[in-house]
Amino acid sequence: MNELHKPVMTKEVLHYLKPKTNGIYIDSTLGSGGHSRTLLENCPQAKIIAFDHDQEAINRCQQNLFFSPHSPIFIHDNFVNFSQHLSNLGVSRVDGFLFDLGVSSEQLSDDKRGFSYRQEGPLDMRMDIRNKINAADIINNCDYQELADIFFEYGEERKARKIAQRIDKNRAKGKITTTQQLVKIIASCQNRKPKKHPAKRVFQALRIAVNQELINLSRALETTFQYLNIGGKVIVISYHSLEDRIVKRMFKKYSKLGFHILTKKPLTPSAEELAENRRARSAKMRVIARL
C-alpha cells in the first residue's frame, strides 16, 4: 500500500489564491490532486486545469469520484508546455498558478520507479515514462566529469568527484542498473557515517537531470506572468535551495515589471503541519501577484 501523499501548506495556498467562482486556476503539479481538491472544496465553481507528466497521477485523479461533478481538465504533460494547452483551450488569462515541486510520496514508495535510495529498484527516475533517458543511462553513459558536474550542480554534493570516480571504476566491470548498486558505491565513498543518507544528494541530482526540472521550472515561471489576470497570483512551493533560488530570482525580476511579491521571506509550514506531515519539513512557499 503506497503512503498517501498529503498536500503541503493548503491553508496558506487558500489564503493567497482566494479562489473565486469561475476563476481559472492552473495546478501545475497535480500529483494525487490534494491542492486541486482543496480549491474546489472551498470554491466548487472554480475552473481547474491540472498538469502532471506522470500518467499514474493523472489516472489516480480521473478515478477519484470527488472530481467528477467539478469536471476539472486533466492534462498529461509537463507544466513547461502549459502555454500550448491553454491556447488550445482558448484560455488567455488565468487567476492563479500553483507549483508544488519535487517528487511525490507515491513515486517514492513505488520501487519500480527507482526514485528512492531506501528501496531496491531499477535506476529509472523518469516522472514521464515517455522520456527516452533514465537515470541508468546517465550513470552508465556520461563521462566522469559530466557525472561530477551533475552531482555538484544539482545535488550540491561535496564528494561529487570522488563518487563520480568510484562509479566510473565500478561500471568498467559491468553496467550499474539498480538503485542499491548505486547506493553501495556512494556509501563506499564515505569516511564516516553521515548524519543524512549518503545517497540523498546524488539521487536528487539524478532525478533533476533526468527530468530537466530546473530548466523546465525557469521556462514555465517565465511564461506564467504573461497569463495572469489583475490580482492573479503565482504560488511556488519548493523543497530545496536550487529550486528556491530560481523562484526568488524570477520573482525579483518581475517585481520590477508591475508585479508585487507578497512573501518578503519564504513561508514555511506551521509546527502543527510539521507534526502531521514529515514531507512538509523542507517546504518553502513564495507568492507574487499582478497589481
CATH number of 193's domain: 1.10.150.170
Report, as an integer, the average pLDDT of 131-155. 97
Label the pairing between strands 259-261 and 228-238: unpaired
3 lies in some domain:
no
pLDDT interval class at 3 (50, 70, 90):
very low
Average pLDDT estimate for 90-114: 95
Do residues 70 and 38 lie in contact, with contact meaning Cβ atoms separated by under 8 Å?
A: no
Binned at pLDDT 50, 70 and 90, residue 2 comes out as very low
Q: What is the pLDDT of residues 104-140, one digit of tens each?
A: 989 999 999 999 999 999 999 999 999 999 999 999 9
From 164, 195, 211, give the residue that closes a domain. Answer: 211
Residues 147, 237, single domain; the answer is no
Question: What average pLDDT score do residues 67-78 get?
Answer: 97
Domain boundaries, position 182: 107-211
Cβ atoms of 51 and 27 within 8 Å: the answer is yes
Check pLDDT > 60 for residue 1.
no
User: Do 99 and 236 have their domain in common?
Assistant: yes
221 shares a domain with 257 = yes
Number of domains in the chain: 2
Q: Are residues 101 and 218 in the same domain?
A: yes
Based on the fold, state whether residues 203 and 218 are members of the same structural domain: no
Note whether 191 and 241 are same-domain residues. no
Integer-rounded Cα Rg, in Å, for the chain is 20
Residue 285 lies in a domain: yes
Return the pLDDT at 211. Answer: 97
CATH of the domain at 247: 3.40.50.150
Residue at a domain's end among 141, 176, 211: 211
The pLDDT-based confidence of 64 (bands split at 50, 70, 90) is very high
Distance CA 187, CA 77 (A): 35
Considering the domain architecture, whether residues 57 and 135 belong to the same structural domain is answered as no
Q: What integer pLDDT is reported at residue 5 of this predicted model?
A: 65
Q: Where on the phi/psi map is residue 128: left (φ > 0), alpha (ψ -120 to 50), or beta?
A: beta
Whether 92 is covered by a domain: the verdict is yes
One domain, residues 126 and 83: no
Candidates 48, 58, 57; CA nearest to 26 is 48
Residue 72 pLDDT: 97
d(CA 258, CA 171): 52
Same structural domain, 135 and 52:
no
How far apart (Å, rounded) are the C-alpha atoms in residues 161 and 53? Answer: 32
User: What is the end-to-end Cα distance of the chain in Å, rounded?
Assistant: 46
Domain boundary among 211, 236, 251: 211
pLDDT cut 90: percent of the chain above it: 93
**Is 4 part of a structural domain of the chain?**
no
Cβ atoms 96, 232 nearer than 8 A: yes
pLDDT of 168-227, one tens digit each? 999 999 999 999 999 999 999 988 777 789 999 999 999 999 999 999 999 999 999 999
Say if residue 176 is in the same domain as residue 194.
yes
User: Of 141-145, 175-179, 274-278, which range is least confident?
Assistant: 274-278
Does 5 map to a domain?
Answer: no
Give me the phi and psi of 261, to 5 degrees please. Answer: -75, 125
- Distance in angstroms (rounded) separating the CA atoms of residues 209 and 125: 10
* Vertex 88: Cα angle to 212 and 104 (nearest 5): 35
Q: Is the pTM of this model over 0.85?
A: yes
Please check whether residues 22 and 75 belong to one and the same domain.
yes
Would residue 131 count as lying in a domain? Answer: yes
User: Same structural domain for residues 89 and 129?
Assistant: no
Note whether residue 178 is domain-resident.
yes
